[in-house]
Amino acid sequence: MADALAVYARLISAQVRSQLQYRVSFALDLAGTFLISFLDFIAVLIIFDNVPELDGWTLHEVAFLYASTCVSFAVVDVVIGHLDLFPRMIREGTFDLILVRPRGTLFQVIASDFAMRKLGKVLQGVIVFVFALGGLEVDWTAGRAAMTLVMVLAGAAIFAAVWVAGATIAFWTVDGGEFTNAFTYGGNFMTQYPISIYGEWVRRFLAYLIPMAFVCYFPSLYILDKPDPLGLPRALQFASPVVAVAAAVVAGVIWRSAVRRYRSVGS
């Protein structure tokens, strides 16, 4: 494990050095993602310019939900967002090179890139988070503070699991990128708002099928001390870490069986 982390650090630092070879393009990318990601939040501001509350949520509460989802997602996007390009690895045969090296396949795919330019998104999330904290009236107990950290970590794990599971579609279709995007980027977009604003079937889909509601919504109910408009069991508000572990295990199993299938049927 320690050795794997050390190798990961080396591979990523190689990626970082590669990207820094093109300094201007890197700086522009970074500034670009930083600014563009604010457009998302401007949409939230526009909504609240028209209504004082969204389904009982104030601007700062939605900003809190938005920002924590955003940080979870952006961190994952930086670390494994290149799984979007996984279909190309299959098509061009680069995945074969991964199979002849003495490390796990998923490990190598993840360690093959690191999108520093997307750090702009993380930064944007952090700024909105600070903005949200400034306007919240929350009694910050140790429990709530710890829950906030757990929420972001568990959220990241859930996003990562969905991303990995989605990427395996490439083993079947060679090109399933867009389909996967609907779940990753789409899931991120939808969970930036309280899920109670959606119709019932969307809600069920988000809550249980791809467990996006556990990313930040349920824990936020606890942290912000809000009543659950859907009247679901209170235990759900603490279930995110469990859901995250389960999602990671499921994604791992899907990945393994997909690799096994690739090795038996070819591409």
Partner 1 sequence: MSAAIELEDVRKRFVVRAKRGRLRRERRVVDAVAGITLAVEEGELLGYLGPNGAGKSTTIKMLTGILVPTSGRVRVARLDPARRRIELTRRIGVVFGQRVQLWWDLPLRDSFDLLRHVYRVPDQRYRENLERFSALLDLEPFLETPVRQLSLGQRVRGELTAALLHDPEVVFLDEPTIGLDVVAKQRVREFLVELNRERGVTVVLTTHDLGDIERLCSRLVVIDHGRVIWDGAIEELKRLYGRERTLVVDLEEPEPPLEVPGGRVVRVEGPRQWLRFRGDEVSAAHLTAAVAARTRLVDLAIEETDIEEIVRRIYRGGADA
Summarize as ranges the residues that interact with partner 1 (CB under 8 A): 3, 6-7, 10-11, 14, 17-19, 21, 92-94, 96-97, 99-103, 263-266
Nearest to 110 by CA among 84, 72, 87, 82: 82
Tell me the chain's radius of gyration from C-alpha atoms.
19
Binning the chain into helix, strand and coil, the percentages to the nearest 5 are 80, 0, 20
Question: What's the min distance (Å) between Cβ of 10 and partner 1?
Answer: 5
Question: What's the min distance (Å) between Cβ of 43 and partner 1?
Answer: 37
Using the minimum distance from each CB to partner 1, give the nearer residue, 9 or 232.
9
Using the minimum distance from each CB to partner 1, give the nearer residue, 26 or 185.
26
Residues 161, 180 contacting (CB under 8 angstroms): no
Question: What's the min distance (Å) between Cβ of 1 and partner 1?
Answer: 14
Distance CA 255, CA 249 (A): 10
Nearest to 109 by CA among 160, 158, 185, 159: 160
Question: What's the min distance (Å) between Cβ of 101 and partner 1?
Answer: 6
Alpha-carbon distance values, 22 to 15, 27, 117, 123, 238 (Å): 12, 9, 12, 21, 44
Q: If you ran DSSP here, which 8-state letter would residue 215 be given? A: T
Using the minimum distance from each CB to partner 1, give the nearer residue, 17 or 209.
17
Residues 91, 267 contacting (CB under 8 angstroms): yes
Using the minimum distance from each CB to partner 1, give the nearer residue, 141 or 267.
267
Chain position carrying tokens 């899931």: 187
**Alpha carbon 5 to its chain's center:** 21
Using the minimum distance from each CB to partner 1, give the nearer residue, 102 or 199.
102
Question: What's the min distance (Å) between Cβ of 260 and partner 1?
Answer: 8
Question: What's the min distance (Å) between Cβ of 150 and partner 1?
Answer: 33
Using the minimum distance from each CB to partner 1, give the nearer residue, 103 or 203.
103
Identify any residues that bridge with 57 across adjacent strands, giving them in sequence order.
Answer: 54
Using the minimum distance from each CB to partner 1, give the nearer residue, 3 or 200.
3
Question: What's the min distance (Å) between Cβ of 168 and partner 1?
Answer: 17
